[in-house]
Structure formats: structure tokens, C-alpha cells
A and B are shown apart, each in its own frame.
Chain A
């Protein structure tokens, strides 16, 4: 066990944890935030996507020791107060989720992309949003992203 310090959703945390534990399990079990999901364990599906210092990362393959001192944002940290982020709100407005399991990761990936490229093109969207959804919500995901790229407010 090792002490690892990091910031999660703005709160400083010190974890007493096996250093090779993937960040995903540190978030879900040690910290107790279960909105970040386990889907594959090999960075293929994106269900575990969180922001590490503002960048979208697949937390299931990232040892917690590698994020010492980093600022982590999870799906629970995206809304401010009771107000959903623009991406979350677009997801709700377009009724994107079906089972919803992949959507935390999907929303985190899209949020990071639009923070960097508020008017991302379809080619950029296709290149960056490679998360898997088995319910098949892709048509609405693209529509929701388009409403955000049109307004340029997705990165807010």
C-alpha cells in the first residue's frame, strides 16, 4: 500500500492504495464514485473515461500511481451545483441514453473534445469519439454533438 495524493472533482484526496490499482477502481471503490464505469479493462470501450488535467483518459489502464498530484474530473464533477454541463444538458434534451451505462464515458469524451475544439468537425468527432455503445445511441449522440458544435458552447 502506498499513499497517493490527487484532486478529484476539486477535492484533494489522499488514498492508501496498491499503487498499480487502475485509476478506475480507485475512483469507483476507494473514493466511491460509481458514475465512472468498467466496460473492458483494456481501454477499448471508453466507459471509464475521465478527465486527467482536463484531458480525456481511459482510466481502466492508468495506474493510480501515474496520476499522483493530478486533477481528476469524473462525471459526478461535471455539473456545477445542480446545473448540468452543456454536454449533459444536450444529452438530456435529445434523450440520448438508453441503458445509460456507456454514457458517462461518452459525455466525458465529448466534453474534453469540445473544450479543445468547440466547433469540432464531423471528421474530428469521428476521430476522437471512439467509445462503444451497445444500445446503439449513435444517431442521437451525433445530433447532440452537432447542437453543441453549432453553438460552440459544449466546452463551457
Chain B
């Protein structure tokens, strides 16, 4: 009971109780090189959509992506509902459980009773579907542009065709004569039936392999602002995050991890802590020591009484300065420039950055014999499950994983970065069968991240006699790739080359991955080129966008939004920057004011966004607003430094981030280019740093080339 479309496999079957279940899965294309680690070869499958129509006339959309604040679950369900012409108030959303080959039975068992009531034929289709489902990553701003586009739309359209076919038979009319609106199929004769009434019969219709997708001009639900379905639980305190989970008999663990990455536990005297109230067990791991106690506070207190000795894995002499010195050496001389031109040169640097999710790493594991149950909030439930299984030396099938709400992700909880899940599993094994919840202190969280890589860039550019740029090239250390180094400018000579400079600090994907650092580098330098050419930075960029109409439209839009060029009082300035990230082009203008003492105020940020088209206008706007604040927090205040091989910062007092008084007003507008859908969770981050530092230059004449901005003196130089 299933068919292949070009990109995916569609299967359909009956639910216990007479409903229709339809699934779409695909596994054979890599949606973005940034979505997964490059060495994770099998991590390409993304699609896994399930749509259920039950006799109570409810459409349930099961989404394979977690909700970490981006509103993607609501947007995805909107895409399915739009294709179905379903009544949005009768659509429910559920998150898929972390199971692959047994997902079919599990979903049906969990939501609709035992699978034994299934019709024959269903099992095979669903089995294949589930096998194809692959990972459940929420990252790379992928949810809407892949699952939505190829899963939700196709699934919704297929379900609609099957329901209409069933209605046509029941009415004794042609399917083409039926219309659908608000979860009801109607014929001109006056006959009509709801999706719920037709669900059982729809199961017997053949599954369309190429269901016709709706003409975007006929959208009624998409492109509107719909409230997120999960938000009530996030204003009344009822949402359950990973850290909130409890289960009877649960113990609590606090840990101390070797402060230098790669360090090992050498020794720890547990005599005193063992006797402290509530302490159940002190667990020594290779790289850490954990106290397991009745309550978390008891565990924390006993942990504080330990004086574990860790080695430094030979990295004890590493500092931020030695890392940047190595970058500097690796970069060598700036790129060669043509003779006779006016040459502009500049170096830029950005620090390591923590994700600092508001919810510190937390996980609960219960080990019973050769099985385990795991609860956490991560960006990839299937990977969390396999991570726990590996730590326990059992198969993934022996682990039941439940994903809970995430208190922020930003890349920290992507596959490959579930160290806290593995650690909890190892601790739980020692106290089996008691369940144990491990919570990292903020200090542990801050010092054991997978940081946005520190990076450095060395640019050289050349202007001909008319002030037209003929070259703009750079070398970089700290990571980069073709997408992140792309410049949309028609400049004859532009190359970006990476130079290797390894260090021991753990790094990982951080909201917008490589684009936050390269967005700053490229857009700060092009601004310096514009000033060297004595041209307006907006006009200079625009003149170079001769073969990039989408970039040009975004740039013009954001300039218009910000009243670019209109006079400002002394001490104020505007800066512009534009980048492409995960398929979306975002242009931003920062309007800043700098006091005579050098205090920065970011008054307003303007953003124009071309992400192809927008699904839920409100959540799309919220993602851009949030991305700008996240980028601004990093550009202005964010900094992780290294001394003695360790992270220096320990909490929010020294890893500073935005509060309300810093926050600018934000204005967001979208351009509907109808290009392939781009992401929205991340693309607003990369232009921020350059927009703000370019604005600071316009306001004060100070060119900030090393982030964060807080380390620079912005006192007027004149």
C-alpha cells in the first residue's frame, strides 16, 4: 500500500477505529551540508511525515521535529492542512517518538490502540516507510524547507485526493466535481461529508504517487499569522522540559568534569562526601566524578566537598592568545593584489562562543538489565537514543527514548553533541535500576560546550583608479566553506582559502554555523572597501550586485525600510550588511548611537528577508527578531576565552548576554521571491555583527575588527 514519488515514499493504511493514516518518508538527499556533521554519512534522511484522519473529524499531524522555540511544528502542520483544505481548528499536532523501524506500531499503539486491528497491507508499507525515516534532526533551519516542502505538502495533498475519491464514490459523482473546504467535501448536488465521515472509506482508495500540490495563489492558511499551539504551556508553567522530568524513585546527579578538554580524572577522595546527607553513590568516570543523591541540592553540596584532581591532557599552556597566534602564523601574508591598484587590507577576529541555552544540559536515564529508558530534550531524538545505547553497550532497540521540550538548542543539542546523554547513561548504569537525573550546573555547562569556533580572517582588496573594486580575497583560520565565504559581488578576483590551525578546544555548530563568523568578515571588509572608494556603503554594494537580483532586491528593501541616507544627529550612524545562509538572504541595517563616553546603544535593527515564501508570518517574524538578538548578544558581549587550556568564563556574570535594556527595536519585512524555501531559524544571525560594527564606524569613526564589541573603545577619535 505505498508508492514512490520522485523524492519520497507515500504509504497509507487504516487506523484501529476506522481512520486513515498516511505517511511520507524519504532518505536519499542531503538537504544541506550544514545540517549534520560531514562525517555522518547516513544522516541524510529527513522526511518523516504522518497524517491521521479520525472519525471524530480531527486531522492529526505527527511531525518529526522537536519544538525548541522556532514554531516549526505549527508551521509544518499548516503546510499539511493547507494542502488538505482542512479546518485549522480541527488540526492537532504531535511530535514523533524516537523510534525507527517500529515507529508504525508504536505510533498506533500510543495514540490509537494496539496495531493488531490493522488491515493487512498496512504493515508492510508502514514498515518500509519507517525504515526510510532516518534521523529526526531539528537543525540547519531545515524543518519547513524539507519536511514541510516534501513531506507535509505531499502528504496533505495525497490524503486530500484519497478522501475526495472516497467522497466521489459515496456521492456517485466524479472526483473532479467535488470541492473541499474546512475539512468537508461538497458536491454541487448538495451532498457533503466531513473528513471524519470519509476517513474509513478513504483507506480503500489507491495512494496517489504524484498528488497535485496546491497553487500558492490559492493559499488561505499559509502566509497568515497563526498562534503557536504549544505556547499556552509556556506561559502557565506546565510545559515539561528535559530538566523537569521526574519518575518515581528518581535520584539526582551533579558532576564535575575535567576542566581541560581531553583531561582525565586522576584521583578523588570521597570519604567525607560519602557520609553527607542523601548521598547514594559517588561515581568515578574517566573524565568526571558524579555524586548521586536523593535530591539535586544534596548532590551539589557533596560535589562541592570533593576535591577531584584532573590532568590537563598536555594542553595546560594553551590560551586564547596562543590560539590566535597560531591562526596568525597559519594565515601568513595577505592575498596578493594586482600592481598599481589602491590596496585595502584588514584582519578580523571572532572569539569562541557558548550556546548558553537557558536550560543547562539535563537528562534522565533508567537502566534495567539490558534495557534503558532515556528522557531529555535534544535536537535529534534518534541520535540521543543511539548515543545512550553506545554508552551502555547495548543496541538502540534496547533503548526507549522520550524527547521533551528544549530550553533552547542553537546547535548544542544536535547529533554528535549529546555528551550529556552518554554521561547520564554511564552514571545510571552504576545505580541501576534506580532512575537518575543529571543536571549540569551553569558553570559546567559554560565550560563544557561545543563552542562556535574562534576564527580569524586576513583580507586584501584592490580598487582601480575609478574606485571600482577589482579584487577582494581572504585567508581564514577556524573553519569555512563555499557557502559561508560566498560574496554576492561582481568583483573580478575574489577567493577565500582556509588555512589549518588546530587546537584542542571543542567546537560545534552554533546558530548559523560557519556563517556568523564569515558574515562578519566579508561584510565588514566590503564596508571598508566602500569607504576606501569614498562611496556610500549601500550604493557600493548595490552597484556590485549585477548578477544577483535577489540580493539586490533585499538590499534595496532594507535600505528603504531604514531611510538609508537620511540625516542623523551627531554620534549616530547606520550600518548595512547582507548574507545568505541556508537558502535565505537577509539584509540588515543597524541604527546605533554612541555617547561621548563611548557607550553603545543599538536603537533599531531593520531586516529584509527573502526566504522564498513564508508559511506562518508571525513565527517567521519571531525567528528573525530572535536571530537578530542572538547575533547582537554575540557581537556585542559574547566571548569565551581560554587560559591554562580551560574556559575562563563560568556563568552569566562573565559570559554576558543581552537583557531587555540592551535590546533594540526590530523591524522585519519579507520579500516573496517564490525561490526555493529557505530556513529562518538561523539566517538572521550572520549579518548582525557587520551591520552593527559598520554603523559604529559611521557614527564614530572607530572600526571594530575584533569581536566582541564590548572590548573596543568607542570613544570618538576626533
Contacts and interface: CB of A to CB of B under 8 A. Distances in A.
B651 A40 contact: yes
B626 A100 contact: no
A44 interface: yes
Interface in A58-86: 74-76, 78-79, 84
A156 interface: no
Interface string A85-103: 0001001100111111111
A37 B243 contact: yes
B358 A47 contact: yes
B534 interface: no
A25 B234 CA distance: 20
Interface in B610-669: 618-619, 622, 625-630, 632-633, 651-653, 657-666
B244 A34 contact: yes
A52 interface: no
Given A21-B297, A25-B296, A138 B227 contact: no
A22 B298 CA distance: 11
B407 A138 contact: no
Contacts of A25: 295-297
Contact of A134 (B71, B244, B357, B632): B357
A47 B662 CA distance: 18
Q: How large is the interface on A (under 10, 10 to 19, 20 to 34, 35 or more residues)?
A: 35 or more
A68 to B, nearest CB: 17
16 contacts: A20-B297, A35-B238, A44-B652, A45-B358, A91-B235, A95-B622, A99-B357, A99-B408, A101-B358, A102-B407, A103-B235, A130-B661, A132-B652, A136-B628, A138-B662, A140-B625
Contacts of A101: 241, 357-359, 407-408
Contacts of A20: 297, 301
Given A132-B652, A132-B657, A139-B665, 16 more contacts: A34-B243, A37-B359, A47-B358, A84-B235, A88-B235, A92-B231, A95-B622, A99-B408, A100-B231, A101-B357, A126-B660, A131-B660, A135-B408, A136-B633, A136-B658, A142-B660
Identify the interface centre among B277, B439, B653: most chain A CB within 10 Å of its CB.
B653
B68 interface: yes
Identify the interface centre among A34, A45, A47, A134: most chain B CB within 10 Å of its CB.
A134
Given A98-B69, A130-B660, A75 B236 contact: yes
Contacts of B441: 41
Interface of B: 68-71, 227-228, 230-241, 243-244, 246, 252, 277-278, 295-298, 301, 356-360, 405-410, 439, 441-443, 618-619, 622, 625-630, 632-633, 651-653, 657-666
B2 to A, nearest CB: 36
A135 B69 contact: yes
A132 B658 contact: yes
A36 B243 CA distance: 11
Given A18-B277, A18-B297, A132-B358, A34 B240 contact: yes
Shortest 5 CB-CB distances between A and B: which pairs?
Answer: A35-B237, A136-B629, A100-B234, A101-B407, A98-B69
A32 interface: yes
A33 interface: yes
A135 B630 contact: yes
Given A44-B651, A132-B358, A138-B658, A29 B442 contact: no
B228 A95 contact: yes
B630 A97 contact: no
B656 to A, nearest CB: 9
A99 B68 contact: yes
B237 A76 contact: yes
A141 interface: yes
A114 B230 CA distance: 26
A125 interface: yes
A148 interface: no
Contacts of A41: 441-443, 651
Q: In terms of DSSP, what is the predominant structure of the interface of chain B?
A: loop
B236 A134 contact: no
A38 B648 CA distance: 22
Contacts of B278: 18
B144 to A, nearest CB: 15
Interface of A: 1, 18, 20-22, 25, 28-30, 32-42, 44-45, 47, 74-76, 78-79, 84, 88, 91-92, 95-104, 107, 125-127, 129-142
A34 B233 CA distance: 12
Contacts of B244: 28, 34
Identify the interface centre among B301, B659, B662: most chain A CB within 10 Å of its CB.
B659
Identify the interface centre among B357, B359, B439, B627: most chain A CB within 10 Å of its CB.
B359
Contacts of A133: 358, 629, 658
B408 A32 contact: no
B237 A98 contact: no
Identify the interface centre among A22, A97, A98, A103: most chain B CB within 10 Å of its CB.
A98
B358 A139 contact: no
Nearest to B630: A136
A92 B235 contact: yes
B237 A39 contact: no
Contact of B663 (A38, A134, A139): A139
Contacts of A84: 235-236
A125 to B, nearest CB: 7
A125 B70 CA distance: 26
Contact of A40 (B295, B405, B442, B662): B442
A36 B237 contact: yes
Contact of B295 (A29, A100, A102): A29
Contacts of B629: 133, 135-139
A139 B442 contact: no
A38 B360 contact: yes
A87 to B, nearest CB: 9
Contacts of B228: 95
Contact of B622 (A22, A76, A98): A98
A90 B547 CA distance: 46
Given A98-B622, A99-B69, A126-B660, A134 B237 contact: no
Identify the interface centre among A29, A36, A39, A79: most chain B CB within 10 Å of its CB.
A39
A79 to B, nearest CB: 6
Contacts of B665: 139
A96 B358 CA distance: 16
B660 A141 contact: yes
B684 to A, nearest CB: 9
Nearest to B631: A136
B297 A42 contact: no
A79 B661 contact: no
Identify the interface centre among B71, B230, B243, B409: most chain A CB within 10 Å of its CB.
B243
A142 to B, nearest CB: 7
